Structure 1
Amino acid sequence: MRYTLLLHYSEPAESDLDDAAIAEGMRRMSAYAAALHAAGVLLAAEVLQPSELTTTLRREADALRVQDGPLIDSKEQLGGTLVIDVPDLDAALGWASQAPALEWGGAVEIRPGATHTIDGVWTTGG
């Protein structure tokens, strides 16, 4: 079954992070991704740029509305995603419990996949 782990955590200002803190965060996320990969469950991963660089589209009537920035007003933002393929929710919970985002005061949302593409063709199910 495919699950997407959505990593939510606070986005500190760049001035709040020194080079050592950035390097440690990158090391922790790399180690986590390497463990998922070594277990053969990692399908894809993305660490996102800061939420201030977000552009959101909405359709209002027959027009598209383009909005700069995230839609939510929160200290925690979506910081990254990982797509894993594991037997069940318990296995997804086990992997999600190891996400560094939890130690950074954030949350990990676990959402089962409904459809995905293989070679550009939509497929249903996990």
Structure 2
Amino acid sequence: MKQYLLSIYQPAGEGLPDPEFLAGVMREIGVIRDELTAAGCWVFGQGLHAPETATVLRPKGDEVLVTDGPFVEGKEYLGGFTVIRAADLDAALEWGRRYALATTLPIEVRPFQGEG
């Protein structure tokens, strides 16, 4: 089975949703994770801190410039990710659909290089 990255994008500038809504999202994500694990498809996943906690390293000649914050300003940022194993892109997309419905956020599904 190939591995796929499911990237969860959050709108920039918005705080966390209300606790009741977030609790429901987290419950549904837990159900999906349990099903991925039972199917032998779960590899790894985790949420990320806000983009302003990032440190960016940019090569400049023989030096590396270290700056705070995201690489590019945008309307969305990577808020978390999950790595899964799936038989093919269609199967990975189905898991991605489940995450999109559970989180109400855009999900990018991308295969890793060098596999099958």
* 1:112 positional shift: 1.0
Partner-residue secondary structure (3-state), 2:34: helix
Distance 1:73 1:102 in 2: 26
Name the counterpart of 1:3.
4
Distance 2:5 2:108 in 1: 8
Distance 1:73 1:108 in 2: 19
- Counterparts of 1:36-115 in structure 2, within 5 Å, are 36-100=36-100, 103-104=103-104, 106-114=105-113
Could you say which structure has the greater relative contact order, defined with CA pairs below 8 angstroms and 6 or more residues apart? 2
* 1:103 positional shift: 4.8
Unmatched tracts of structure 2, length 5 or more: none
* 1:109 positional shift: 1.4
Q: Please list the CA deviations of residues 18-62 of structure 1 after superposition, one character each: whole Å capped at 9, or x if unmatched.
A: 433433332232222222222220111111111121111111111
Which amino acid is 1:7 matched to?
I
Partner-residue secondary structure (3-state), 2:91: helix
Name the counterpart of 1:30.
30
Q: TM-score, normalised by structure 1?
A: 0.77
Which amino acid is 1:9 matched to?
Q
Name the counterpart of 1:121.
none
Q: What is the number of residues matched between the two proteins?
A: 114
* 1:71 positional shift: 1.5
Partner-residue secondary structure (3-state), 1:99: helix
Unmatched tracts of structure 1, length 5 or more: 115-123
Distance 1:101 1:70 in 2: 27
Q: TM-score, normalised by structure 2?
A: 0.82
Distance 2:24 2:96 in 1: 19
Distance 2:27 2:102 in 1: 15
RMSD over aligned Cα atoms: 2.1
Task: Report the CA distance shift for 1:107/1:100 in structure 2 as closer, same or farther (over 3 A).
Answer: closer
